[in-house]
Amino acid sequence: MRETILNRLTAVAHEHNIKILFACESGSRGWEFPSPDSDYDVRFIYVRPYKYYLSVMDRTYDLNFAINGDLDMYGWDIRKVLQLMRKSNTTPFEWLQSPIIYTEEPGFKNELWSLSQAYFDQRSNIHHYLGIAKGAMKTIANDNEIKIKKLFYVLRPLLAAKWCLEKQTIAPMTIGPLMTLLPDPLQKQVNELIALKAHAAESFVINIHPALKTFIDAEYDRINKASVPLKKEHFNAEQLDEFFVTTITRYDH
């Protein structure tokens, strides 16, 4: 599949006259708890020729493609990525931490990751992750029945929100570091669930263990309340503008 993805990225770059700076796996494969039927969620950051950005006309700063089989792929222009980073959007933070990288320009990921550290807003990151967790929690039936895929859509963002609150830094993308925030008995449970998910369909329904359910409910309420008095940060664009100009100049093709 990796070769298929690389070939598709090459074709997209040629068809749209872009240079792909970074491409990675997002979703459950990138989070390190895939199911056998998990899609390949390929995300990429690209740049266009310098003159594309010098126009009075509105421009498009993303590329979207229809899902093809189990390949789900889209990309964002570096301009859009930097705009979202200024808002402390979690998506660029996660892409840059992906353990599965398909292609990257030397140094680009590390430079952008280093820049991103100055744009972490604790409050907005917590609220983003709690929103995802809350949406997945609504799929719980009969108090403890949930699809195994949805359970991890509760657990990972809840632990990411907990990380942002307690460690006051960008949350890790992968489940491993986040699980260190769980009590030891629950770590064992979640590891067993990851092993189960590796062999079960995403629609497989399980019963949430009472101890895990109690942890989820209590931590959601605690983190939500603790986030209320947090101050929302506002970031200037000076460093982002400098990075943007440097990037579109360096990779002008």
68 and 34 fall within a common domain = yes
106 and 134 fall within a common domain = no
- Number of structural domains (the chain) is 2
112 and 164 fall within a common domain = no
Query: Which amino acid is present at 174?
Result: T
Q: Which two tokens stand for residue 242?
A: 């400098």
Tell me the per-residue pLDDT of 15-32, one tens digit each, with 9 for 90 and over.
999 999 999 999 889 888
Residue 35 has pLDDT above 90, yes or no: no
Tell me the per-residue pLDDT of 187-237, one tens digit each, with 9 for 90 and over.
999 999 999 998 888 889 999 999 999 999 999 999 999 999 999 999 999
pLDDT for res 47: 98
Residue in the block written with tokens 């744009």: 119
- What pTM, to 2 d.p., does this model score? 0.94
Q: What is the CATH number of the domain that holds 69?
A: 3.30.460.10
Residue pair 196/148 in contact (Cβ under 8 Å)? The answer is: yes
130 and 115 fall within a common domain = no
88 and 106 fall within a common domain = yes
Average pLDDT over residues 7-11: 95
Instruction: Quote the domain boundaries for residue 64.
Output: 2-119+234-250
**Nearest partner of 90 among 55, 133, 119, judged by Cα:** 119
115 and 126 fall within a common domain = no
126 and 115 fall within a common domain = no
88 and 12 fall within a common domain = yes
Query: How many C-beta atoms lie closer than 10 Å to residue 138's C-beta?
Result: 10
